[in-house]
Amino acid sequence: METFPDRSVIINDRRKSLSEWGKQDSGCYPELIESPTARYFSRAERSWISSIDTALIDYLAGNYPEPRSLTFAVLHGDLAFEQVRLLPDGEVYFFDFGDLSWGPVAHELAQFLRGFAAEPIPRQRWLDLKAGLLAGYRSEHSLSVADEDAIEVFLLNRVLAVARYVLELHGNSAAPGGAEVIKQGYRLAAEILHGPHQPQQI
C-alpha cells in the first residue's frame, strides 16, 4: 500500500479515515434493545451486553491512543479472512477495498485479529495466532511500542463499531446471524477486559 496510486487522495480524506477508526463514544446496547435482533438475546445476555458496553466505553475513554504517536499508512479498512485468497501460484490476493482509509497500522492489525475469533476458539489458540500475525508483520515492517500497545485498544473499539454496524445494516429485520456476530465480539471483549473464564474459549 506504500505505492498505492491514489495515496494522496486517501490521506486528504480525513472524514473518511476517522469514520473507519475513530473512537466509539457509545455502546450498542441502546440500539440493540430497540431492534428486532434483540429477540435472539436472552434477558441474561442483554444484561451482559449492557455491562460489557459500559466497560468498553470506560476503557476506551481512558486508553484510546493519541493518533500522532502512531505509525500511519493506507489501510484496507476491512481486512478479514473473507477478503483474502491464496492464488494457485502461491501469491496472496486481497480484494474489496471499499473501506480504504488513512490510519494507524495498529488498527489494521486489530481488525484482522478480530477475525481470528469470528468463531469460538480456545483462548491459547487465539493468542498463538496473534503472536504469529505480529511476528510476520514485524519481519517486514517495524512496529513501535505505541503501535503494539494500541492494537488491543483498536480491537475493542472495533468490537463496538462492528456491533453497531450490524444493527444498522439489518435495520428493521431480525438477524440471527448478526446476533451471533455481536455475541462473539462481546465474548472476545470480555476476555480482554476481564481475563479468561471457564471454559477458556473466545
DSSP, residue by residue, 15-50: HHHHHHHSPP-S-SHHHHHTSGGGGGS-HHHHHHHH
* Range in 83-87, 121-125, 189-193 the model is least confident about: 121-125
Beta strand residue intervals within 36-121, DSSP E:
72-75, 84-86, 92-94, 101-104
Assigned C-alpha cell, 70: 502512531
The pLDDT of residue 81: 84
Question: Closest Cα partner for 84 from 76, 95, 74, 73?
Answer: 95
pTM of the model: 0.86
Question: Could you read off the pLDDT of 116-156 as tens digits, one per residue?
Answer: 887 777 888 888 999 999 999 999 999 999 999 999 999 99
- ∠77-81-86 over CA atoms, to 5°? 115
> Half-sphere exposure of 106 toward its Cβ, with a 13 Å CA cutoff?
25
- Whether the predicted pLDDT of 198 surpasses 50: no
If you average pLDDT over residues 103-112, what whole number do you get?
93
- No. of helices (H) and no. of strands (E), the chain: 8, 4
Q: How much is the CA Rg of the chain, to the nearest whole Å?
A: 17
- Whether the predicted pLDDT of 182 surpasses 90: yes
End-to-end Cα, the chain, rounded Å = 31
Number of Cβ atoms within 10 Å of the Cβ of 148: 13
- Whether the predicted pLDDT of 201 surpasses 70: no
The pLDDT of residue 194: 83
Model confidence at 37, pLDDT cuts 50, 70, 90, reads: very high
- Whether the predicted pLDDT of 199 surpasses 50: no
Beta strand residue intervals within the chain, DSSP E:
72-75, 84-86, 92-94, 101-104
The pLDDT of residue 71: 93
